[in-house]
Amino acid sequence: MSRVSAEQIKEAIGNFDFQGTYVEDMPWGNGHINDTFLLVFESEEKKTIRYILQRMNKNIFTKPVELMENVVGVTSYLRKIIIENGGDPARETLNVIPAKDGKNYYVDATGEYWRAYDFVEDATCFDQVEKPEDFYESAVSFGNFQRLLADYPAETLHETIVNFHNTKVRFATFKKAVEEDVMGRAAEVAEEIQFVLDREDVANYFTDLLEANELPLRVTHNDTKLNNIMMDNATRKGICVIDLDTVMPGLAMNDFGDSIRFGASTAAEDEQDLDKVWCDMDLFELYSKGFIEGCGGKLTQKEIELLPMGAKTMTFECGMRFLTDYLQGDTYFKIHRPGHNLDRCRTQFKLVADMEAKWDVMQGIIAKLL
């Protein structure tokens, strides 16, 4: 995507229904997908009003109108439930600002799509777990997200990225990448390729259960990282789940599993020394406890029993995607050095192998929490 010009920002600001008088705008956050700006306005009473303005990345999200239908559907529903529960809808969910033409987005003169939200005040996002309580709080928040949306008709949501967590389809794509071997890299990664091929049952596990109607379709977030939770500055408790671009129909175990893959690992996603990489069982237990508490009884017993499988499946899927991208010439994930995607895939496979070694421990933790 091209850089955002000052003229584009000015045009977008002028076409949303903001309150007060414009003061200034500035780039905000460190997201990789959309371009985000903090807007400052002033009311007649000289009070500061802040908003978030975003240019949506239509290269990745090719149907921004459908995406915004999802966001508005889910946030409107959350707002209603939060009010019924006596909560604060201004801080506990995102609130979309309409454009002046009444739509929930604005298309500028260059064809780019924009959206705006109220700014969630007195709260912070953290990129890294600074203490175990942060990880626990994120678990409660994502579990709470499941609880609040348990009765939302998930099948009415659009798939913003088709087959995003369809591991069976990802496996087929991987096999095709191995066969085509466009970069001539397959021979050097025979061990990693075999690791994936030996686990076709993992790739098929959830899709088979879903096809057999043995698992409920849920509203899932699909990017359950710590930095997608707003933490209250005073209490350090999670108050609001943000970044709803990948909200779509899915499985609760996948949301859980993606958090474990990222948050319970003892090393960075691209760590080259695999001796430093394993799945921390204390963090696994802490997150499991928070997630199950947050869900408040809305998950079935089968879903809870399958949480370890969610962790293994999401870690396996992610490693497989990194390896696929490496075989295809690093066209999807940004790399910062040669072999970067290969390093990433190896950390994920090390985590999968470690989970397999600790499988009885993981299942024991969940059984205890049940």
| 199: helix, strand or coil | coil
Binning pLDDT at 50, 70 and 90, where does residue 333 land?
Answer: confident
Query: Is it true that domain 132-369 has CATH number 3.90.1200.10?
Result: yes
Q: What does the pLDDT look like over 86-111, one tens digit per residue? A: 999 999 999 999 999 999 999 999 99
pLDDT, average across residues 295-323: 97
The pLDDT, as a whole number, for residue 249 is 95
Strand partners, 231: 124, 238
Bridge pairing between strands 113-118 and 96-97: antiparallel
| 27: helix, strand or coil | strand
pLDDT, average across residues 272-296: 97
Distance CA 319, CA 10 (A): 41
- 281 versus 333: the higher-pLDDT residue is 281
> Would you state the structure tokens that stand for residue 126, as one six-digit string?
């953290």
The pLDDT, as a whole number, for residue 72 is 98
Binning pLDDT at 50, 70 and 90, where does residue 235 land?
Answer: very high
- Residue 336 φ/ψ, nearest 5 degrees: -120, 5
Task: Say which residues have a Cβ less than 8 Å from residue 44's Cβ, sequence separation at least 6.
Answer: 20
Binning pLDDT at 50, 70 and 90, where does residue 130 land?
Answer: confident
Amino acid code (one letter) for 59: N
Superfamily of domain 6-121: Phosphorylase Kinase; domain 1 (3.30.200.20)
The pLDDT, as a whole number, for residue 264 is 94
DSSP 5: P
**Mean pLDDT (the chain, rounded):** 95
Q: Convert 84-136 into a string of H (helix), E (strand) and C (coil).
A: HCCCCHHHHCCCEECECCCCCCEECCCCCEEEEEECCCCEECCCCCCCHHHHH
pLDDT, average across residues 317-327: 97
The pLDDT, as a whole number, for residue 243 is 94
Q: What does the pLDDT look like over 132-147, one tens digit per residue? A: 999 999 999 999 999 9
The pLDDT, as a whole number, for residue 128 is 77
Q: Do domains 6-121 and 132-369 have the same CATH topology?
A: no
Bridge pairing between strands 106-107 and 21-27: unpaired
DSSP 3: P
Binning pLDDT at 50, 70 and 90, where does residue 60 land?
Answer: confident
Binning pLDDT at 50, 70 and 90, where does residue 29 land?
Answer: confident
Q: Where are the domains of the chain?
A: 6-121, 132-369
